[in-house]
Amino acid sequence: MFPFFYSLSGKKNISITIFSIIFCLISIEYVGSAEKGEEIFQSNCAGCHTIGKGTLVGPDLSGVTLRREENWLIRQIKDPDGLIAEKDPAALKLLKDFNMPMVALGLSDTEIAAIISYLKNIDKNKNTDQGKTSTTDLPSRYIPTVLISILILIALTLIALIAGRKKVK
């Protein structure tokens, strides 16, 4: 079933260590999505938006995660024309205020999620007093990742132990 593990079973500790490291790296990658969001923001959005430094081509995005719903933000980033076509009141007002629509940048859902978690992080740090909702938001976002990592680690340990035991028999 797991020929790879059988061949490694003599070195089961090594294989456990290697897989633990790989899965830790994967979880760090998820937890680091806010940092990735900053990179994506700098290269795709910073030309038109500041965060806390005033209006540029588009509005200052400081506090945007507090004044808008997450789903609305996803749509605004992914498909701003769609919101306008739907006559979404917030989108129509922005269009009127800024006299031009935002362009869809063709980012993937993961990239958009990373940008939003970056924006949320900034808003949360800025509003540490009112930020009660966002402080509960952060752990709940990472709990699934942590749980999955732990489950995978347990599964791998069991597989490696079983493989090791078979070899001894």
Positions in the binding site for ligand HEC (CB under 6 A)? 44-45, 47-49, 57-59, 61, 64, 68, 73, 76-77, 80, 91, 94-95, 98, 100-103, 105, 107, 115
Q: How far is the CB of 58 from ligand HEC (least distance, A)?
A: 3
d(CA 165, CA 163): 6
**Encoded tokens for 52:** 């806390």
Residue whose CB is less far from ligand HEC, 17 or 55: 55
Q: How far is the CB of 153 from ligand HEC (least distance, A)?
A: 35
Give the dihedral sign, CA 85/91/96/102.
negative
Q: How far is the CB of 135 from ligand HEC (least distance, A)?
A: 22
Q: How far is the CB of 27 from ligand HEC (least distance, A)?
A: 25
Q: Are 12 and 167 in contact (CB under 8 A)?
A: no
Q: How far is CA 74 from the centre of its chain?
A: 12
Residue whose CB is less far from ligand HEC, 40 or 159: 40
Residue whose CB is less far from ligand HEC, 55 or 128: 55
Residue whose CB is less far from ligand HEC, 77 or 122: 77
Q: How far is the CB of 146 from ligand HEC (least distance, A)?
A: 27
Could you give phi then psi for residue 165, rounded to 5 degrees? -65, -40
Residue whose CB is less far from ligand HEC, 59 or 131: 59
CA separation, residue 98 to residues 92, 101, 169 (Å):
10, 8, 74
Picking from 161, 167, 165, 166, the residue whose alpha carbon sits closest to that of residue 19 is 161
